[in-house]
Amino acid sequence: MDQWVLYGRSGNPSSDIAKAWLTNNGIPFESTSIYDLTKEEIAKLADLIPGGARKLVYPNVFSFAMINPQRQTERAYIDKIQSNDLSEEEVRELLADMPSLVITPLITNYKTILVGYDLDSLVNTFRFVKVKDVTMA
Protein backbone atom coordinates (compact mmCIF):
# COMPACT_ATOMS: atom_id res chain seq x y z
CA MET A 1 0.00 0.00 0.00
CA ASP A 2 1.43 3.38 -1.03
CA GLN A 3 1.75 6.17 1.47
CA TRP A 4 0.09 9.25 0.04
CA VAL A 5 0.86 12.79 1.12
CA LEU A 6 -1.57 15.69 0.82
CA TYR A 7 0.12 19.09 0.75
CA GLY A 8 -2.48 21.71 1.50
CA ARG A 9 -3.28 24.74 3.52
CA SER A 10 -5.73 25.17 6.31
CA GLY A 11 -8.83 27.09 5.29
CA ASN A 12 -8.42 26.36 1.57
CA PRO A 13 -11.72 24.79 0.45
CA SER A 14 -10.05 22.61 -2.20
CA SER A 15 -7.59 21.19 0.32
CA ASP A 16 -10.33 20.59 2.87
CA ILE A 17 -12.55 18.82 0.31
CA ALA A 18 -9.67 16.64 -0.93
CA LYS A 19 -8.78 15.72 2.65
CA ALA A 20 -12.39 14.78 3.36
CA TRP A 21 -12.62 12.75 0.13
CA LEU A 22 -9.46 10.78 0.96
CA THR A 23 -10.67 10.16 4.52
CA ASN A 24 -14.19 9.13 3.43
CA ASN A 25 -12.76 6.71 0.87
CA GLY A 26 -10.36 5.11 3.34
CA ILE A 27 -7.21 6.24 1.53
CA PRO A 28 -4.26 6.35 3.94
CA PHE A 29 -2.51 9.70 3.72
CA GLU A 30 -0.39 12.11 5.66
CA SER A 31 -1.47 15.75 5.68
CA THR A 32 1.31 18.34 5.44
CA SER A 33 1.21 22.12 5.17
CA ILE A 34 2.22 23.58 1.83
CA TYR A 35 4.34 26.01 3.85
CA ASP A 36 6.56 23.12 5.02
CA LEU A 37 7.70 22.27 1.47
CA THR A 38 11.46 22.14 1.12
CA LYS A 39 13.43 22.84 -2.04
CA GLU A 40 14.18 19.11 -2.31
CA GLU A 41 10.47 18.22 -2.10
CA ILE A 42 9.61 20.86 -4.70
CA ALA A 43 12.23 19.38 -7.04
CA LYS A 44 10.87 15.87 -6.45
CA LEU A 45 7.30 17.00 -7.16
CA ALA A 46 8.28 19.09 -10.19
CA ASP A 47 10.06 16.09 -11.69
CA LEU A 48 6.80 14.10 -11.54
CA ILE A 49 4.76 16.50 -13.65
CA PRO A 50 5.17 17.30 -17.34
CA GLY A 51 6.03 20.98 -17.55
CA GLY A 52 8.00 20.96 -14.31
CA ALA A 53 7.67 23.45 -11.47
CA ARG A 54 5.57 25.89 -13.56
CA LYS A 55 2.70 23.38 -13.45
CA LEU A 56 2.74 23.55 -9.65
CA VAL A 57 1.97 27.29 -9.78
CA TYR A 58 -1.39 28.97 -10.26
CA PRO A 59 -2.03 29.47 -13.99
CA ASN A 60 -2.84 33.18 -13.67
CA VAL A 61 -3.09 36.06 -11.21
CA PHE A 62 -6.89 35.88 -11.10
CA SER A 63 -7.00 32.28 -9.85
CA PHE A 64 -4.25 33.05 -7.31
CA ALA A 65 -6.12 36.13 -6.06
CA MET A 66 -9.36 34.16 -5.62
CA ILE A 67 -7.67 31.80 -3.14
CA ASN A 68 -5.18 34.32 -1.70
CA PRO A 69 -6.88 37.73 -1.72
CA GLN A 70 -4.63 39.10 1.02
CA ARG A 71 -1.34 38.23 -0.73
CA GLN A 72 -0.57 41.22 -2.94
CA THR A 73 3.21 40.94 -3.31
CA GLU A 74 3.22 37.40 -4.74
CA ARG A 75 0.91 38.27 -7.64
CA ALA A 76 3.70 39.71 -9.79
CA TYR A 77 5.58 36.43 -9.53
CA ILE A 78 2.70 34.46 -11.06
CA ASP A 79 2.96 36.40 -14.34
CA LYS A 80 6.75 36.19 -14.27
CA ILE A 81 6.65 32.40 -13.85
CA GLN A 82 3.91 31.72 -16.39
CA SER A 83 5.45 33.98 -19.05
CA ASN A 84 8.64 31.89 -18.93
CA ASP A 85 10.76 34.80 -17.67
CA LEU A 86 12.35 32.45 -15.12
CA SER A 87 14.31 29.25 -15.64
CA GLU A 88 13.13 25.97 -14.11
CA GLU A 89 15.75 26.28 -11.38
CA GLU A 90 14.68 29.88 -10.62
CA VAL A 91 11.04 28.77 -10.36
CA ARG A 92 12.00 26.01 -7.93
CA GLU A 93 13.99 28.50 -5.83
CA LEU A 94 11.08 30.92 -5.82
CA LEU A 95 8.61 28.22 -4.76
CA ALA A 96 10.91 27.25 -1.89
CA ASP A 97 10.87 30.90 -0.76
CA MET A 98 7.16 31.49 -1.47
CA PRO A 99 5.22 28.22 -1.15
CA SER A 100 1.95 30.17 -1.28
CA LEU A 101 2.44 30.26 -5.08
CA VAL A 102 1.84 26.49 -5.23
CA ILE A 103 -1.65 25.29 -6.17
CA THR A 104 -3.23 23.27 -3.39
CA PRO A 105 -3.95 20.54 -2.76
CA LEU A 106 -1.04 18.51 -4.05
CA ILE A 107 -1.59 14.79 -3.55
CA THR A 108 1.31 12.46 -4.23
CA ASN A 109 2.93 9.15 -3.47
CA TYR A 110 6.09 10.43 -5.22
CA LYS A 111 5.29 8.26 -8.25
CA THR A 112 2.09 10.09 -9.21
CA ILE A 113 0.97 13.64 -8.50
CA LEU A 114 -2.43 15.34 -8.54
CA VAL A 115 -2.33 19.14 -8.64
CA GLY A 116 -5.44 20.95 -7.42
CA TYR A 117 -8.80 19.40 -6.64
CA ASP A 118 -10.38 17.44 -9.48
CA LEU A 119 -12.91 14.75 -8.54
CA ASP A 120 -12.46 12.77 -11.77
CA SER A 121 -8.70 12.63 -11.26
CA LEU A 122 -9.14 11.50 -7.66
CA VAL A 123 -11.56 8.74 -8.64
CA ASN A 124 -9.38 7.55 -11.52
CA THR A 125 -6.16 7.64 -9.50
CA PHE A 126 -7.54 5.82 -6.48
CA ARG A 127 -9.79 3.37 -8.31
CA PHE A 128 -7.47 0.43 -7.66
CA VAL A 129 -5.77 1.60 -4.47
CA LYS A 130 -6.20 -0.73 -1.52
CA VAL A 131 -7.90 1.11 1.28
CA LYS A 132 -7.90 0.74 5.03
CA ASP A 133 -10.34 -1.71 6.55
CA VAL A 134 -13.26 0.34 7.74
CA THR A 135 -15.70 -1.17 10.20
CA MET A 136 -18.96 0.34 11.25
CA ALA A 137 -19.59 0.80 14.97
* 3-state SS, residue 11: coil
Rounded Cα gap, residues 129 and 108, in angstroms: 13
Residue 57: how many other CB atoms lie within 10 Å: 20
Q: Which domains does the chain have, with CATH numbers?
A: 1-37+102-137 (3.40.30.10), 48-101 (no CATH)
Alpha-carbon distances of 76 from 56, 66, 93, rounded to whole Å: 16, 15, 16
User: Residue-wise pLDDT tens for the chain (137 aa)?
Assistant: 578 999 998 888 999 999 999 999 999 999 999 999 999 999 999 999 999 999 999 998 888 888 877 888 888 899 899 898 899 999 999 999 999 899 999 999 999 999 999 999 999 998 877 665 555 44
102 DSSP 8-state letter: B
3-state secondary structure 21-70: HHHHCCCCEEEEEHHHCCHHHHHHHHHHCCCHHHHHECCCHHHHHHHCCC
- Classify 130 as helix, strand or coil: coil
